[in-house]
A and B are shown apart, each in its own frame.
Chain A
Amino acid sequence: MSQHYAIGIDAGSAQTKAILLDTASLTLLAKVALPTGWNPKASAETACAKLQEHCAKPGTSTIVATGYGRVAIPFADKNITEIACHAKGAAHCFPQADLVIDIGGQDSKVISLQKGGRVRDFLMNDKCAAGTGRFLESVARLLGLSIAELCALAVCDKACTITSMCAVFAETEIIGLLAKGATPGAIAAGVLTSIAKRMHGLAARMPRQGDCVFTGGLAQSPVCAEVLSRELGYPVCVPDNPQFTGALGAALEAARLAKEQKQ
């Protein structure tokens, strides 16, 4: 029997993430992340090529694409939305989960799950970048930091209050705070708190009995997870490599598709 691989590609607005699974066992064989840049097709191709270096045995593969660039990936067998993929990926890592909070590059979402990782309901932030990774990126740039450095600084216990609901105006607000002598740590803590409050505003609209999973790049930072869980009032579960949750969901869907086609 020849080997069959399941590949999930999450072409996000900032990063392209890809995951390689063994279709039969769903064992994780490899993962790749690279900047999406201006050409989601090219970065998806590069990511795929890198994954295939990890295929020990020759074989066939099924590819599922997700993320905003998913429609630009012609070699995918199927494309599904990142909402469905984050749900699948999160439920795979935490079978007791019924809520997923994802803070992505250009939008943030709260997904309510039913059994088996299917989406029951979801809410997304409105037409605005505040509360997204993009917003955090611009604040980090303003402070001359990387996002990781900014998150690490946010342990400061005197967080500034950031009230603007718009990313552009929040930037103006931060410039004002800096002028008044606020420290980068206080600003970083304030920004994370403001994002966490927005997510709480969405999450509170959904029922929750089981685990709440925090996915997306920001979930890599323990400080971020702590701030979010403080604002929510309950703990959040973070999968290993949370930025790959969407790609994992896509790879799981690829495996399901391959098994279905085989029957």
Chain B
Amino acid sequence: MTWSSFEQFRAITDRNVLRLQEEKQAGRKVVGQYCIYTPMELVLACEAIPVSLCGTKNDSIATAETVLPRTLCPLIKSSFGFALEDSCPYLAASDLVVCDTTCDGKKKMFELLAQRKPVYVLELPQRQDEEGLAYWQKQLELFKAKLEEHLQTTITEQSLWQAIDLSRRFRAALQKVLDLGKRKPSPLTGLELLEIAFRASFMPVYEECVEELENMAREIAASVIAEDTHKPRILLTGVPTGLGSHKVISLLEECGASVVCIDNCSCYKKVRPLPERQGDPLALLAKHSLPIPCAVMSPNPGRYETVAELAREFSVDAVCDLTWQGCQTYDVESVSLRHFVQDTLSLPFLQIVTDYATSDSEQLRIRIQAFLEMLA
């Protein structure tokens, strides 16, 4: 199906790079971020633009492998390849790049990246308890000071609350669109859900982004849904995906499944609602971001809670766990997740370990088809 609001969103987001350059020429600062643990609200409070950075395409991997080991995960290689080639316009526009200490591969890659770009390393704890939270809040204070110094601005309590309100509206609008997948059948394909979340993450003007997402949610929600197609409904969980690293979502849907929810940091993990406005805004941001259930956390109870909740809310028939080759944390966590999904949720589970290249597409297709045969 086509919707005019979706077409308009595509047309507007096609101009993301141009728009970012215009904003930069008008004096706005740009802060690139690799990870959603970085609270974009702090950047917004500086009246700077938080943007995602490229890292979802296979093209830059060969370049990265002139420096990095081949066995590293494709996400790290792709990101670094873009930096080596200077081919990511968002990275090029960034006045500062925030790098969270998530996994070991990323931490060490950031050291190499720091030779090329002004990098700020945000020290993420690996525990989500009280001590971890206190530590994280302290790190956010340091990050705030760094932003103020680097961008020569002051973040006031008022500007931070305003940024939090904007971010709250952005998350809510994105959630409205992604929640369309709860309908039976989902009006949007998994690939479309991915495309929308991906394009939105590069939009420099957040107010406009909120408006476009709201328009889409409204138009698509009002459209008449064709009769149920009985496609198996899949919850995709695991590593980040974007345009260029969407291979498994495409294969699932080519084989007849409907990916109704994408539980990763490029999609549904972004919409976790912010708590109500109270107390210290920085404490609120720390409390909101630290519980993100990324596999770098140990233990990571939120991963299982989230998968259970999304499986129920999106009425899924099965769970597919995507792991990038070389991503140790997600690969190991998949062992426990398999038991949880099969034994506690009583749902079929498939882990796919792959990279961005298409060389294994046919082998993966067989696994996916066999998995869908199991559900029939």
A interface residues with partner B (beta carbon < 8 Å)? 68, 80-84, 106-107, 118-122, 124, 126-127
A81 near B369 with CB under 8 A, answer yes
Q: How large is the interface on B (under 10, 10 to 19, 20 to 34, 35 or more residues)?
A: 10 to 19
Give the CA-CA distance A119 to B349 in the complex, in Å: 12
On whether the beta carbons of B370 and A121 are closer than 8 Å, the reply is no
B360 engages A83 (CB within 8 Å): no
Q: Main SS of chain B's interface residues?
A: helix
Q: Is the CB of B370 within 8 A of A107?
A: no
0/1 interface trace, chain B 268-288, chain A, CB 8 Å (1 if under): 000000000000000000000
Which residue on chain A has the smallest CB distance to residue B369?
A81
Question: What are 21 A-B pairs at a CB distance below 8 A?
Answer: A68-B362, A80-B369, A80-B373, A81-B366, A81-B369, A81-B373, A82-B366, A83-B367, A83-B370, A84-B370, A107-B363, A107-B366, A119-B370, A119-B373, A121-B348, A121-B374, A122-B367, A124-B363, A124-B367, A127-B354, A127-B360
- The residue that B349 contacts in the complex, of A68, A106, A121, A124, with Cβ under 8 A, is A121
B93 on the A face (CB < 8 A): no
B373 CB, min distance to chain A CBs, angstroms: 5
Q: Residues of A contacting B354 with CB < 8 Å?
A: 127
In Å, the complex CA distance between A22 and B362 comes to 33
**For chains A and B in complex, what number of residue pairs have CB atoms within 8 angstroms?**
39
Give B327 Cβ to nearest chain A Cβ, in Å: 14
Q: B373, A84: Cβ atoms under 8 Å?
A: yes
* Nearest CB of B to A238, in Å: 23
- The 7 A-B pairs with the shortest beta carbon distances in the complex, nearest first, are A83-B370, A81-B370, A119-B374, A84-B373, A81-B369, A127-B360, A81-B366
Q: Does B251 sit within 8 A of A, measured CB to CB?
A: no
A126 to B326, CA, bound (A): 13
Instruction: Please indicate the chain A residues that have their CB under 8 angstroms from the CB of B349 in the complex.
Output: 121
Residues of A within 8 A of B362 (CB): 68
Q: Which residues of A contact B348 (CB under 8 A)?
A: 121
The reply to whether B374 and A120 contact each other, CB–CB distance below 8 Å, is yes
In the complex, what distance in Å separates the CA atom of A82 from the CA atom of B369?
Answer: 10
Q: Give residues of chain B (339-376) contacting chain A, Cβ–Cβ below 8 Å.
A: 342, 348-349, 353-354, 359-360, 362-363, 366-367, 369-370, 373-374
In Å, the complex CA distance between A126 and B364 comes to: 10
Most buried by B among A118, A119, A124, A127: A127
Q: Known contacts A119-B373, A121-B348, A121-B349: does B363 contact A83 (CB below 8 Å)?
A: no
- Docked Cα-Cα span, A187 to B349, in Å, equals 38
C-alpha gap A82/B362 in the complex (Å): 13
B339 CB, nearest partner CB in chain A, Å: 10
CB distance from B369 to the nearest CB of A (A): 5
